[in-house]
Amino acid sequence: MKNHTLLIRKKKGISPIVATIILIAITVAAGLVVYGIMNGAILTASNNTQISVIHTTLVQPSGTGTALFSMALKNSGSQPITSIHVSAYIASGNANLTSGLTITPSGTLSPGESASVTGASSGACIVGNTYAVQMTATASNGGSYSTSTSVTCTTS
């Protein structure tokens, strides 16, 4: 029985100081991993390009062959928007809204600022029909954001 007790006593573990150093090293490494993941997520979230459509109208004045288009936008991202492209297929034939739009204010749209887009289609819309509108915004950091909405043609 005495021999067995001696064998157990001869086994030694690591010292408490070495164990503490190993635990601290593991904790620091885990903290660096979490920091790296969170830092990347925060940078991605803070550099987003996004634009929101506040309202869209499409009015067909009676007796005219063109529809009047109006859209209000807001830069809801965190980057300045340097260009906005809006396109809509308004009616049959070649009636579309890809050019001749006026964006106010022109130039850069800072985060939180709003803009209006106005123009006339190259043809009439059908009152009561709904049309798709596609919009793409490009930010100063090169990021882009595309969204679509729909608008119903009304009469004035």
Q: pLDDT tens digits, residue range 94-143?
A: 456 655 566 766 778 889 999 888 888 777 788 888 888 888 888 888 88
- For the stretch 14-65, pLDDT in tens is 788 888 999 999 999 999 898 888 777 665 555 688 888 999 998 988 888 7
**Three-class HEC string of the chain:** CHHHHHHHHHCCCCCHHHHHHHHHHHHHHHHHHHHHHHHHHHHHHHCCCCEEEEEEEEEECCCCCCCEEEEEEEECCCCCEEEEEEEEECCCCCCECCCCCEEECCCCECCCCEEEEEEECCCCCCCCCEEEEEEEEEECCCCEEEEEEEEEEEEC
- The pTM assigned to this predicted structure is 0.61
